């Protein structure tokens, strides 16, 4: 799941729409209880629907939900499961982060916990460049999930790809083939645009040197490239590819974190920064945050004043009118307003009380 998926789900307005989330487990014996847990949540959702509608009215929804649940292969689940179902839509996501047990029946799908989990998870795109075909993956640590649909996977069907090169001695076959590859990778770049626009994650390129060079030459997304894995990986399964790519991404993410801390030092000298959660909250609401730096395990429940810009920190997140985690709210707000978020090691921002921002102005 990525922010592109979430935006599509958030656009849905149809009652009843059912969201079911549950933790799952990767190994035995913990995963033995996962089917029972999920089935209990499905029963809860069914009972809530039948308390409000006749079975005939919600039969298409219940049938779609049953089909989704029957399709779960618990041998390959990860840390969380999310199901989104109404009479028109049925989506299942196997996720590499944990989720709470929850059933929500509403006009909209419930995506809040997924948004916050995505915000705190090191994610990246992987574009495996090839003629047959170019594949797009969403990466979470070493786990890769292939994106299918909306243009991917993409096969080079033109001359030099599935079709042979023209047999004309007047044509420079090498130059002709290269130009057709450039055209193909322009198409790949265009297909990538909605994903990287909705979810501007670092990009890892995989492929032979020529393909990587062509993509860098023609794509406006070349600046998002964080690392490359050279070689032919047309047939490499996602599981193996993730194990090869993630160490390279992890190494370069560490470089980005170090660079962000240096940027913060410069911003402090130029008086273009803010520290402490209360000040950061205010500037985030004003849309003035260019870069947010936050320690990885910093969480803080808080109460938001009526003016929307004043925070009162509390210790108990279960109190009335308390936001479970104001840090997560800040992260989402900064991303929505086009800012960048960098997680740093715990203890890296002691003088800023664990959170700081570089201001646009």
pLDDT at 169: 65
Residue 156 pLDDT: 86
- How many Cβ atoms are within 10 Å of 14's Cβ, its own excluded? 14
Q: What is the pLDDT of residue 357?
A: 98
- Burial tier of 33 (Cβ tally within 10 Å: 0-12, 13-18, 19+): exposed
Is the pLDDT at 257 greater than 70, yes or no? yes
For residue 171, pLDDT over 80 is answered with no
Both tokens of residue 148?
Answer: 């299918």
CA distance 235 to 309: 52
Q: What is the pLDDT of residue 316?
A: 87
Total-model pTM: 0.76
User: Which residue in the block uniquely carries the two structure tokens 């909705």?
Assistant: 198
Give me the pLDDT at residue 164, please: 59
Categorize the per-residue pLDDT at 324 as very low, low, confident or very high, splitting at 50, 70 and 90: confident
**pLDDT attached to residue 174:** 75
Structure confidence at residue 246 (pLDDT):
97
Q: Which of 3-7, 155-159, 353-357: highest mean pLDDT?
A: 353-357
**pLDDT of the residue at 1:** 78
Residues 6+ apart with CB under 8 A from 230: 207, 208, 209, 212
- Indicate the range of 15-29, 58-72, 153-167, 318-332 predicted with least confidence: 153-167
Domains of the chain: 3-119 (3.30.960.10), 123-253 (3.30.420.60), 272-359 (3.30.1330.30)
Round the average pLDDT of the chain to a whole number and report it.
Answer: 91
């Amino acid at each position: 799941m990525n922010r592109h998926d979430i935006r599509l789900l958030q656009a849905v307005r149809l009652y009843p729409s059912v969201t079911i989330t549950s933790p799952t487990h990767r190994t035995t014996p913990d995963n033995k209880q996962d089917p029972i847990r999920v089935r209990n949540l499905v029963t809860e959702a069914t009972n809530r629907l039948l308390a409000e509608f006749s079975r005939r009215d919600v039969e298409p929804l219940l049938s779609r939900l049953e089909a989704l649940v029957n399709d779960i292969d618990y041998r390959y689940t990860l840390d969380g499961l999310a199901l989104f179902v109404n009479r028109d839509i049925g989506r299942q996501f196997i996720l590499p982060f944990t989720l709470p047990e929850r059933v929500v029946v509403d006009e909209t799908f419930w995506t809040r916990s997924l948004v916050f989990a995505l915000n705190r998870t090191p994610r990246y795109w992987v574009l495996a460049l090839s003629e047959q075909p170019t594949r797009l993956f969403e990466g979470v640590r070493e786990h890769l999930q292939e994106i299918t649909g909306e243009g991917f996977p993409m096969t080079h069907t033109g001359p030099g790809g599935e079709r042979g090169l023209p047999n004309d001695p007047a044509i420079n076959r090498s130059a002709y083939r290269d130009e057709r590859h450039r055209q193909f990778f322009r198409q790949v770049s265009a297909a990538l645009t909605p994903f990287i626009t909705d979810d501007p994650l670092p990009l890892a390129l995989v492929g032979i040197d020529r393909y990587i060079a062509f993509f860098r030459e023609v794509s406006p997304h070349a600046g998002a490239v964080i690392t490359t894995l050279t070689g032919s990986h047309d047939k490499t399964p996602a599981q193996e590819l993730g194990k090869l790519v993630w160490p390279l991404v992890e190494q370069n993410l560490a470089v980005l974190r170090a660079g962000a801390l240096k940027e913060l030092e410069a911003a402090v000298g130029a008086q273009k920064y803010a520290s402490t959660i209360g000040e950061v909250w205010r500037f985030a609401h004003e849309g003035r945050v260019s870069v947010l730096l936050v320690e990885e395990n910093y969480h803080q429940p808080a109460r938001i004043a009526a003016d929307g810009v004043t925070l009162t920190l509390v210790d108990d997140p279960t109190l009335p009118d308390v936001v479970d985690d104001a840090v997560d709210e800040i992260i989402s707000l900064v991303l929505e307003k086009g800012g960048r978020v960098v997680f740093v090691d715990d203890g890296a921002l002691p003088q800023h009380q664990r959170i700081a921002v570089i201001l646009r102005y």
